[in-house]
Amino acid sequence: MKSNYYKIYLNKVFQLAQTIVIKSSVAAETINQYVTDYHGTGAVVRHDPTTWKYYLNLSGNYHFTDEMMTVVSMDTLETVAFTRDSLAIHRATAREYAFGTRKYKELVNRFPRQEQLILGILYPVDIQTAIAARDGQILSYPKDLVESNEYSLIKNLQSWIDGYKIRWTNNQYGVSDELYAATSLGIMYLNLVPAILNLRLQACKTNEAHSFHIQQYLASHGMLDSYIEQLTKKQPLFLYRNICYIERNNGKRATFEWQVEHIKS
């Protein structure tokens, strides 16, 4: 059972690492070159980034080179366009096609070259924000994969990304090796997984601790994890911070009243 909890937790970390959007100017330029090679120099308006395929796809909009995708609506059972506007109306359909679901994987199999657009439609970035952002800045991520009390996780992850790019990225290699940028970006995304795990470990014993760590810690103290589903977010955090003190002072009236005061609220 404990290993199943860890697998679920680890799977969600993988999902966060796979869906987090990090600005890459090199990727934008590489995609522009691809469009130019196949559709001519006039296909890319250099002075207007809002027309670039990279930014359009991040914001959940189709580029003229993209194929329109259609899906069967879970709301009305009719065939609808897979777009931001359509999913804003068909809410159940948006949930069914969330990242990692069976429907999502089926759609990616149908349109393997448009996964970035699919993610952009599901988790769109404001296009002007993306254009103005500095290289390496976190632009978007599924909000349900970061818990409400993890106030500093994305901020700390941004600091990690900045440090990683300073230490390991050398764009000069791209002059002689056209695949360097893609390889460098891919390795950084692979390292996001241990980075997220380590940042959450650092947050243990604080009010930003992830629910997995809270659950496992309380499980080691009288199997208190079995009651978590009946508690609010605040109540397990109280037990998480104070369970050792409560155990040492068990049986005292003051300790009992203190617990009642915090657990009942």
Q: Taking 60 as the threshold, does the pLDDT of residue 3 lie above it?
A: yes
Q: Is the pLDDT of residue 202 over 60?
A: yes
Task: Check whether 158 has a pLDDT greater than 70.
Answer: yes
Indicate the pLDDT class of residue 2, thresholds 50, 70 and 90: low
Predicted pLDDT of residue 215: 92
Q: Which two tokens stand for residue 19?
A: 């869906």
**pLDDT at residue 265, rounded to an integer:** 61
Arithmetic mean of pLDDT over the chain: 93
Residue with the bigger pLDDT between 170 and 63: it is 63
pLDDT digits (tens, 9 = 90+) for 86-105: 999 999 999 999 999 999 99
- For residue 76, what are the contacts with CB-CB under 8 A and spacing of at least 6? 90
Q: Please give the C-alpha separations between residue 68 and each of 5, 64, 81, 134, in angstroms, as whole numbers.
A: 39, 9, 7, 30
Torsion over CA: 75, 80, 82, 88 (sign): negative
Convert the pLDDT of each residue in 39-86 to its tens digit.
998 999 999 999 999 999 999 999 999 999 999 999 999 999 999 999
Residue type for position 216? Q
